[in-house]
A = this chain, B = another copy of it.
Amino acid sequence: MLEKIDLSKEVDKETYKKVVEEEGARLGLLQRECKAAGIPVMIVFDGMGAAGKGVQINRLIQALDPRGFSVHASNSSNEEAKLRPFLWQFWTQIPAKGRIAIFDRSWYQIVQEDRFDGATREKDLPGAYQDILSFEKQLSDDGMVIIKLFLHISQEEQKKRFKKLTNSKETAWRVSKQDWKRNKDYDEYLKINEEMLENTETEYAPWTIIEATDKDYAAMKILTTVTARLAYELERKKEQADQKADSQAVRPQERFHNGVLSGVDLTKSLTKEEYKKELSRLQKKLDKLHSELYRLRIPVVLGFEGWDAGGKGGAIKRLTSHLDPRGYQVNPTASPNDIEKVHHYLWRFWNNMPKAGHVAIFDRTWYGRVMVERIEGFCTEAEWKRAYQEINEMESHLANFGAVVLKFWLHIDKDEQERRFKERMETPAKQWKITDEDWRNREKWDQYEAAVDEMLVRTSTTYAPWIVVEGNDKYYARVKVLRTVVEALEEKIEQVKKG
């Protein structure tokens, strides 16, 4: 998930100044209102080393009344802290009602740096996560607003910053051997951070990922994240006081959301010859792997989503054409029927989950909940917001059982879609594929793009990743799908054989 985020985002000086001026004034006001309403606030700055936590905390507090907040720099190697359970110091530092506590690093260190450094044992991780979740839940139930920021930079950017720090006598001490090690093993460290975000993303204490390459962009996003959240919580608190049953408070949408689709290179393509060769090679391989899967009793779940006319059908066809039909099933997903409507939305998908050794392919999936149902209002906001976690839990349950779980997003741009729609209308054999609804959905392209971006960030997990498929060229897309499946199966089979 973290590796998918477009880190090139930046902002021009003028916009930055304008936003900081407006939102800064707003933050000062919100702080006073929170004080009056007795709302305690915790703001956590965490993320990659040298992402600029210190600088960003400094910028944020410019707008705050210094009598109303405190900054806590935490370090798990602190001697006094070591003599106590790891949450102890944070419990003692929780802000009183109406005050703001800002944390430079936090209780997340134990499942992040300490884990990477080997100071936290793998077997203690589930317990540590439980403790973190219960800590945040208990505080949140008591009225605490918890804002968690993850500052993200790339491996190259981090290296550049470490070098710059090392080159100056005044700052060289700030870069440790461990920092360099984390930069060297960036991918491994990123995975640890990704697991941390997955395990601790909750409705009451959500994470916001801050693209921190451009410091101005980061500062602007942090500021707007904090103001939007405080405004929301104040409104909710007011509604509670007024005993309003139906909350009108709108959960803060991020004004600057994480881009994923914006960074996808749609020029990728293959020649017909390359395509034929690769296709044939991969299909043969897949056929062989399919038998092994069956023998080793590995279940496989493949989900396909994408823009209308994105090429799902074609990709699925190339995937299955050489498989033994007794070993796989393709489940097309239409609107729920009457029986399905009186059950939990995941029920119909559970009914079609493969047994050990079998492959289940879903043409459209349970992700409808956070796309079409979200956008068309077929479920409530609370329902689709909750669905990210519910879906992650379902996929985690499948993965823990030993299943391979892959999800493909077939991506094309708006022009390519138009071309394909028109082609469909003009080709008698393809006319059934295009309806008025397709054209209507197309008008909501931007809404869908925002929903898909959020979905990809929130549900691409280490155990069930999303694969964004560059789909403007069908040859390239089909081969990428096949190759990804083949590689994932090979890896899994290897793993199972090793025991």
Contact = CB atoms under 8 A, between A and B. Distances in A.
B400 A131 contact: yes
Given A87-B397, A131-B400, A346-B138, A246 B243 contact: yes
Contacts of A91: 346-347, 350-351
A138 B398 contact: no
Nearest to A401: B85
A94 interface: yes
Interface string A342-364: 11111100110101110000000
Interface string A387-401: 000100100011011
Contacts of A350: 88, 91-92
Interface string A75-100: 00000100111111001101011100
Given A91-B350, A397-B85, A98 B342 contact: yes
B386 A96 contact: no
A337 to B, nearest CB: 12
A126 interface: yes
Interface size of A as a range: 35 or more
A339 B96 contact: yes
Contact of A344 (B130, B138, B244, B299): B138
Contacts of A178: none
A96 B342 contact: yes
A66 interface: no
Interface in A118-142: 123, 126-127, 130-131, 134, 138-139, 141-142
A38 interface: yes
Nearest to A246: B243
A334 interface: no
Secondary structure at chain A's binding surface: helix, strand, loop or mixed?
loop
A339 B92 CA distance: 13
This protein's copies in its complex = 2
A381 to B, nearest CB: 14
A429 interface: no
A82 to B, nearest CB: 8
B134 A97 contact: no
A253 to B, nearest CB: 22
Contacts of A127: 126, 400
Interface in A1-17: none
Interface in A35-49: 38
Contacts of A134: 390, 393, 397
Interface in A387-422: 390, 393, 397-398, 400-401, 403
Contacts of A38: 342
Contacts of A87: 397
B400 A84 contact: no
Given A350-B91, A350-B92, A355 B245 contact: no
Contacts of A138: 344, 346, 390, 393
A403 B83 CA distance: 11
A94 B346 CA distance: 11
A97 B131 CA distance: 35
A212 to B, nearest CB: 32
Contacts of A144: 344
A340 to B, nearest CB: 10
27 contacts: A38-B342, A83-B297, A84-B299, A84-B356, A84-B401, A85-B398, A85-B401, A85-B403, A86-B401, A87-B397, A91-B347, A92-B347, A92-B351, A96-B339, A96-B343, A123-B123, A126-B130, A127-B400, A134-B393, A134-B397, A139-B344, A142-B344, A142-B345, A240-B245, A243-B245, A243-B246, A245-B245
Given A85-B397, A94-B347, 16 more contacts: A83-B355, A84-B299, A84-B401, A85-B401, A91-B347, A91-B350, A94-B343, A96-B342, A96-B343, A126-B126, A126-B130, A131-B393, A139-B344, A243-B246, A244-B245, A245-B245
Closest 9 A/B residue pairs (Cβ):
A85-B401, A91-B350, A83-B355, A243-B245, A134-B393, A126-B126, A245-B245, A97-B342, A96-B342
